[in-house]
Structure 1
């Protein structure tokens, strides 16, 4: 699989990080503060639960960490939906947690809420998960001291702002540069390559970034 048109079409649909080669994964990955946080947390021996919706990048972030933090030494759960029985998943997770094994787990928010609601009496660490799920945005002075971040951190990717100027600009640069610089069978007449080269112009790129950011933040009441 190359990083051409078909690759980008699949990329736009999301949810296929496992099928990418390491080179493809690195070629499309956009470094953010989340990457730095994950590495710091792993270095500190924490387990991180990435939650959110299908296709929002949880698996991509795990796979990007595995080269530096190899599976075996660290505990990874790429997709909780592979388990038909949450109890089996929780027994495996509990074993890694009790062994103080750092790692990252990808669990969509619906299943994670269900696990925390149904099994917190049997698996006490789920109480920490539930408190963090309920206090993702702002921690009051009264609530914050009650929440334990020592061993376990829950990050809800639903709260992440992805249409920032920095992220959009980097995405355009990564994807357009590939088409602008690499040859095609019909190089010179390819409209995709022509537009990709135009996006190397900072003024054109900045205008597109502004437009996409504005569009992404457009309030639904105007539709």
Structure 2
């Protein structure tokens, strides 16, 4: 089945469930095979009890419809919408009957209704303990233990990340390969969509677009398939029918501008990687003057910004075009701030005792509390006191620290029985161990917090750290104060958090000496 451009335009920002909007034939044509379908098929063949859970709009209904042939083949028990069960006893009876008959079962249910069902039915629900355990261990870390899969499999679509390069490429090519361009040779001169389709099929253009999408896959954003389809639909059609596109400025609706101009969360995140933000003196001057003629994948003629009516907007557009359509465009990726690059490398290559990374994070936390601190191998533990939880403390005191060897870093992953599902980690854990009982305190570090710690380590004022990160660091430090394995000293560092000054109190045989300033 082919899609005309007006059909594709409808996919952008469609808030309704695709299962409610499109026909079965249209849904089948739009379906993109992911790692989850073969996984579910395997468990159906093994006659497992499958709980397909997640948030509204995650695609549970669409998935079940796409699996209809194998579900019919195995005469599976199917509950397509367990969110609206009116009679729990009837549901329980039907489920037990199907299990007793040796049939596979698949139940689609959102996260909160599943929790309510577990609380309501308790041990009466077949596989109750297995369901509860798998819900708790939906994400594991380097050294996390995994449950042995027996009768039940819980698949949480909330953990599926569709912003992987492979999945994004499949989705883009599904639309490109099945699109019907505008009819008539004159259309390409007034409607950019046919040209967008041609250019987005180019391997270099695709590679650079997919690299940007892959980067935002690690920032903690959860999207569903309709968001991804809507994104690509927009950069092809601007989300408008042909009749409206023809009357708009051609350049405005070219894909390299549309990538950064949409209005949902995906576009907002991509705007951080807009090539316009990254300065390259040589390239920028040549683009501004119209002197960059070599290396273009398509046409090398463009409006010269310095001669344009709106030079800034013209330069912004040509800089984006350069990134996607010039052989040197990849040079702009090297200009992405180092804290971004460092974070992506951690998620990709981290092992739990990466001392260099641990040292940098220790230094960032130390400098948040005391910018004069120079320790990389000892995490200072600060005690603060405040009457209201979210108020900024006036004073912090430290005479304890934890050594680098007490710290490890943990990156999340899916359990091995779900490893075929698309997943991109969006955080890692900075874990500090207590020695006596192997308990620990941990800090969850996402891209935003990692950037803050990296900048603070380089001298960024801690007063300017966003409130949510300040609160997170103070809470982490409060938990660390109970660390029984912390090393204590007789030197108390007293930090005035208002005027950013330090005072050292040395205690020696019930006497004390004090001095202002701090030389670690």
TM-score normalised by the chain length of structure 1 = 0.82
Distance in 2 between the 1:66 and 1:42 partners? Answer: 11
Alignment of 1:31-180 (within 5 A): 31-70=33-72, 73-138=75-140, 144=146, 147=147, 149-179=149-179
What is the deviation of 1:86? 3.8
Larger Rg: 2
Partner of 1:5: 8
User: Mind listing any 5+ residue stretches in structure 1 that lack a counterpart?
Assistant: none
What is the deviation of 1:165? 0.5
Report Cα offsets for 1:161-213 as digits up to 9, x if no partner: 2211000111111123333xx14356434322221221011111111111122
Per the alignment, do residues 183 and 24 of structure 1 end up closer, same or farther by CA in structure 2, a change over 3 Å counting? same
Distance in 1 between the 2:138 and 2:214 partners? Answer: 24
Distance in 2 between the 1:17 and 1:108 partners? Answer: 16
Contact 1:128–1:148, Cα closer than 8 Å, also in 2:
no
User: Does the residue aligned with 2:47 lie in a helix, a strand or coil?
Assistant: coil
What is the deviation of 1:52? 0.6
Report Cα offsets for 1:14-73 as digits up to 9, x if no partner: 623255444322322222221111111111111211111011121121111102331881
RMSD (Å) for aligned C-alpha atoms: 3.0
Contact 2:74–2:104, Cα closer than 8 Å, also in 1:
no
Contact 2:48–2:104, Cα closer than 8 Å, also in 1:
yes
What is the deviation of 1:7? 4.0
What is the deviation of 1:122? 2.5
Q: Which has the higher strand share?
A: 2
User: Mind listing any 5+ residue stretches in structure 2 that lack a counterpart?
Assistant: 220-446, 452-465, 467-520
> Which structure exhibits the higher relative contact order, with contacts defined as CA atoms closer than 8 Å and separated by 6 or more residues?
1
TM-score normalised by the chain length of structure 2 = 0.38
Aligned residues: 218
Distance in 2 between the 1:143 and 1:167 partners? Answer: 28
Contact 2:54–2:158, Cα closer than 8 Å, also in 1:
yes
What is the deviation of 1:78? 1.4
Q: Which has the higher helix share?
A: 1
Q: Does 1:217 align with 2:218?
A: yes
